[in-house]
Homo-oligomer: A and B are copies of this chain.
Amino acid sequence: MKLLRYLLIFVPISIIGDLLHVSPTLLFVLSALAIIPLAGIMGEATEEISFYSGPRIGGFLNATFGNATELIIAFFALKAGLFEVVKASIAGSVIGNILLVLGLSMLVGGMKFKNQTFNKQSVEVSSSMLLFAVIGLTIPAIFTHTVAADLLNTRYEGLSVIVAIIMFGIYILSLYFSFYTHKDIYFVEPDEGAVAKWSLKKAIMVLIAATVILGIESEIFVGAVEPMTSALGLSEFFVGIIIVPIIGNAAEHSTAVVMAYKNKMDVAVEIAIGSSLQMVLFVTPVLIFLSLLFTPMSIVFNEFELVALIFSVLIANRVAIDGESNWLEGVQLLAVYAIIAVSFFIL
């Protein structure tokens, strides 16, 4: 985790690169390397703040800022009209969490411990919620794909906004669920020795600074996508579904893997599934709402994204029901991720 800090050196480097108009491909790599530690610092600052705010507001902050990086990158992509990148990064974040993060956690944890169990009720609740949420999210897309698309374009927007409102409503209710009516499910034993390392003022200042710099880096990153992809012959879709989620989640991912290595497999699973759930219920509707400020973005995913989303959710549920993992299961999830990535790359 701490090691990621050294990547902060890429913040000034990427900004200088931007001013010097270096090649878009280089700028893309530099800004990506700068985003990774900034996302980590935002997570850390949020955790520090929750020491002062108490567990309830702290939980809320963690839940809300957990996917802030993806949200900020997507915001600039939205502003630049890169709808394909935005939607691909939503789907890619879910796939990445379920296959890459969970797979890596199971592999790393499973190499140390023969079988790891995670019969926590919260995993059950999150995984079935994720199933329902993804079904809700994909229904408009599936329906519109089977209808002559040109007849309906004007109706997409309205439908997308309605679905976004419903999803956001569920998100609000799920906060009420986890912080009030069923907070015992999510109860985490307080880490006895844990104390705030930063003062509240410092934590808030760091959070604000990291968010501002992240915004600058995201704008550089997004600005480099189009020239970089056309220079390298990559598709914007590939960037959205594979690269953006890896950058945005790097810090979170390493936490999950570390937890698995400490045999806290339930925390690792909870991070992966919970983060996916948040992408669907919080980030997606917020992006739909924000797009109304520019050009309205429809919620209609393409067939690749649909298939990948639905398969990921089936796998997540199978894993959660199983309640047990081993290294070979981890390898298999990673293999599915590799096949998806290669298919996207080749096609």
Contact = CB atoms under 8 A, between A and B. Distances in A.
A158 interface: yes
Nearest to A326: B182
A232 to B, nearest CB: 17
Contact of A139 (B114, B162, B340): B340
B129 A328 contact: yes
Interface in A298-347: 302-304, 307-308, 311, 314-315, 317-319, 321-322, 324, 326-329, 331-333, 335-336, 338-340, 342-344, 346-347
Most buried by B among A114, A139, A174: A139
A15 interface: no
Contacts of A140: 339, 343
Interface stretch (A1-9, A83-91, A141-149): A141-149
Interface in A67-81: none
A173 interface: yes
Given A169-B335, A307-B142, A343 B131 contact: no
Contacts of A177: 326-328
Contacts of A339: 136, 139-140, 162-163, 166
Interface residues of A, number: 64
Contacts of A170: 331-332, 335
A139 B329 contact: no
The prevalent SS among residues of A at the interface is helix
Contacts of A158: 346
Contacts of A61: none
A322 B128 contact: yes
A338 to B, nearest CB: 6
A122 to B, nearest CB: 12
B131 A314 contact: yes
A343 B143 contact: yes
A124 interface: yes
A303 B146 contact: yes
A139 B343 contact: yes
A347 B311 contact: no
A135 B336 contact: yes
Interface string A236-256: 000000000000000000000
A205 interface: no
Interface in A95-144: 114-115, 124-125, 128-129, 131-133, 135-136, 139-140, 142-144
B128 A347 contact: no
20 contacts: A125-B329, A128-B318, A128-B329, A129-B328, A132-B336, A135-B311, A135-B315, A139-B339, A142-B307, A144-B347, A147-B347, A152-B347, A155-B346, A158-B346, A159-B343, A159-B347, A170-B332, A177-B327, A317-B318, A321-B321
**A-B pairs with the 5 shortest C-beta distances?**
A146-B303, A132-B332, A177-B328, A136-B336, A143-B343
